[in-house]
Structure 1
Amino acid sequence: MNRRLVTILAALFPALLLVTVALNVKVPYVALGPGPTFDTLGEIDGKAVVAIEGADTDPTSGELVMTTVGVSDRLTVAQALSAWLGSRYGIAPREQIYPPTATREQVKEADAAQFEQSERSAELAALHHLDLPVVLRVARVGESGPSAGVLREGDRLVTVAGEPVTTAGSVQRAVAAVAPGTPVDVVLVRDGVEQTASVTVGARPDDPDKGFLGISPEEVPDVPFDVTFNLADVGGPSAGLIFSLAVVDKLSPGELSGGEVVAGTGTIDSDGVVGPIGGITHKLVGAAEDGATVFLVPADNCAEAQSDAPDGMRLVKVETLEGAIDALGSLAAGGDAPTCG
């Protein structure tokens, strides 16, 4: 009996060791999958996800769904293997999400800062689309830059090099088209008085063939209402497009969604340009599970989205806020829209 017991234990020991390792040893990988979704036209914890106070808003019955990617960290060998073998989650090296040079808290703070920037850009892009006033002013003047001693913080910018400017991007484009060393006129409003200043354009540090003014312009809404985004514990910049659409939908007549469940993702800048994001396939799964049949896809994410799109999901290719609004309007009217592929 003792020999048999020893033999059995000897045979079971490797298996028990493997099970112990699989259940307790952590691996340097994270699991990525569908995260929570949020209807930006709806409410969360009794508050509107996108709240507009001080202005009449247009009622809506459809949904504009913001999608996210869920991240599971500190995986055991067994959890990582289960995620790798399954179809719902993907495995990625942990350093892609949590760089070894940053703490988890630093990563969380960076994600929160990106999210806040996406909120600001979303509001500004919506206001520009609706032709509502936005003040473009100088936030900072570089001490040794071309504008030092000429432009001041708080100057309201009107034109640069003869080009009307309404966004920070339009300032950069106007100056980039001017050869370094060239004097340009900057029309501005200072202390309520419009005036013209001459600045000799410098060379951009990252591209010496393009000009720059050496200022940091900022855009500030000049409207009699406040826009507040009430989502906590969400990070990253990819909510920009859907947030902007929600603001436009609430401040304009009609329904952008056509009364349907429309999901999407994408960064946005104040010019309304939509940029690519990560985790598109996981976001598509989350959108499908939330009942969406239309998904707004940044143009640069189209190839990846097509590779693993849920059955019945219509992938609408989007490059700008204007394009997204036009596409949704066409679909709501029974027409067509640009698609991936």
Structure 2
Amino acid sequence: MSRRAATLTAASVLVLVLALVGSFLPVPYVALMPGPTSNTLGANDKGQPLIKIEGRQTYDDGGHLNFTTVTYRGGPGGRIDLFSALRGWLASDTAIVPEETVFPKNESQQQVDQENTRQMHDSQESAEAAALHQLKIPLGTQVVIDSVQKGRPADGKIKPDDEVIAVDGTKTASAAQVTGLMAKHKAGDAVELTVRRAGAEQKVSVTTVADPTGKRAVIGVVLGDRYKFPFKIDISVGDVGGPSAGLMFSLAIVDKLTPGSLTGGKFIAGTGTITPEGKVGPIGGIQQKMIAARQAGATVFLTPKDNCTDASAARPDGLRLIRADTLDSAVKSVNALNGQGGQIPACS
């Protein structure tokens, strides 16, 4: 063998070895794939009703209102390798996205999981409120302490989940009202909060300090409004996080509280965040969620308006896309599917 041929052979082997080694190096990308789907009208993994309502007449529906999920591989704690990323780019049901789109910088996988759990909890409460608003069932509100800032005057005196029922003797019904009453104070003033903790009322006096701008008096708490429901609604989905199942939770609650079958026995799936007022918002992973829905047997997929363009471009065969702008429009569209008249807006 000539020296030139030997050199080329050695170089080729070296390139091959480097390529093989490089293909197994971790890369900062995440693979998104179709995840499990669950029927909100059925049972969870433990065999219990996924949505259980107590204290109100409910009605069964033999159809499906499935929420959909996306599963992933990769992340800061276990990155995928280059070979897996390349294979994912070639797969029709997988999306390879930069790691920071799923795991924001400076956040651990545990922090992301905790945030997803919080979003799921908030989504469930919003879904319950939206469903009751849709059915015109009255519900009240309460002001709660979401968090207490360390080192601030409220630290050690006020606790998360305390319900604020009065400020300086004035009863309160919203976080905005509490903020307005606090605005009457200047730094150094004492403010008296009446809170309900573990069912018992107590008065707590806290001395205010100036906020970083020096313009407001604060005590160092984050407030939130929560709804007081007239009966118990329990949503149990297991180890699932994020806010994107809100629309389907709301539809299921409406269905369970309304005589007859909303689905008409059809297999309907969908996705979308929901506000307490019933507005549907966009989500991520629409392609993977549609694939998961179709593989599970869905023939209809409720899609947030802002996801329609991407959904239409990737729609699986046999899946009809219906645009869902609000909970009310989604209910009317499903009723129209069952021959009750009305428009059925399509994704376009």
State TM-score, norm by structure 1: 0.75
Cα deviation code 1:209-236 (max 9, x no counterpart): xxxxx9754321022xx21111122111
1:337 corresponds to 2:344:
yes
Alignment of 1:312 with 2:322, yes or no, is no
Which string of whole-angstrom CA distances, capped at 9 and with x for unpartnered residues, describes residues 253-307 of structure 1?
1122111000111111111111111111211111111111111111111112112
What are the residue-to-residue correspondences of 1:258-273 with 2, within 5 Å?
258-273=264-279
CA distance in 1, matches of 2:144, 2:7: 78
Deviations 1:74-124 (A, max 9, x none): 111110000012211111100111112111100100010000000111111
| Matched-pair contact (CA < 8 Å) for 2:44–2:238 | no
**Paired position in structure 1 for 2:281:** 275
**Residue number in structure 2 paired with 1:39:** 39
d(CA) in 2 for partners of 1:57, 1:234? 25
Q: Does 1:245 align with 2:246?
A: no
The reply on whether 1:97 has 2:102 as its aligned counterpart is: yes
- Equivalent position to 1:228, from 231, 234, 244: 234
Q: Which runs of 4+ in 1 moved over 4 A?
A: 3-11, 147-151
Aligned to 1:327: 333
Structure 1, unaligned runs of 5 or more: 158-167, 173-213
What SS does the aligned partner of 1:48 have?
coil
Cα deviations across residues 133-153 of structure 1 (Å, max 9, x unaligned)? 31123446xx9xxx965744x
Query: Could you tell me how far apart the structure 1 residues matched to 2:90 and 2:311 are?
Result: 21
- The Cα shift of 1:20 comes to 2.7
Deviations 1:163-206 (A, max 9, x none): xxxxx9xx89xxxxxxxxxxxxxxxxxxxxxxxxxxxxxxxxxx
Kept in 1: contact 2:93–2:287 (CA 8 A):
no
In the alignment, the residues of structure 1 paired with residue 280 and residue 105 of structure 2 have an alpha-carbon distance, to the nearest angstrom, of 30
Alignment counterpart, residue 124 of structure 2, candidates 119, 131, 134: 119
| Separation in 2, partners of 1:151, 1:271 | 27
Identity between Structure 1 and Structure 2 (%): 42
Normalised by the length of structure 2, the TM-score is 0.73
* Matching residue of 1:205: none
Contact 2:65 2:267 in 1 (8 A): yes
Q: Which amino acid aligns with 2:53?
A: I
Counterpart pick for 1:295 among 294, 301, 322: 301
Stretches of structure 2 lacking an aligned partner (at least 5 in a row) = 146-152, 154-165, 178-221
Aligned in 2, Cα 1:245/1:77: closer, same or farther, shift over 3 Å?
same
